[in-house]
Amino acid sequence: MEDLNEAGGVYAVMNELTKVGLLDTDL
């Protein structure tokens, strides 16, 4: 996960999950 975090991959993954409705962004 460190590699993804360094590359900003975590945010990219979260954005993809949000697009398909798997992540609740109304926290």
What is the signed CA dihedral for 25, 17, 21, 15, rounded to 10 degrees? 50
Are 9 and 3 within 8 A, CB to CB? Answer: yes
Instruction: Give 1-27 pLDDT, tens digit per residue.
Output: 566 556 677 788 888 888 887 656 665
**Structurally, how many domains does the chain consist of?**
1
Amino acid 2: pLDDT:
63
Q: pTM of the prediction?
A: 0.41
Domain of residue 11: give its range: 1-27
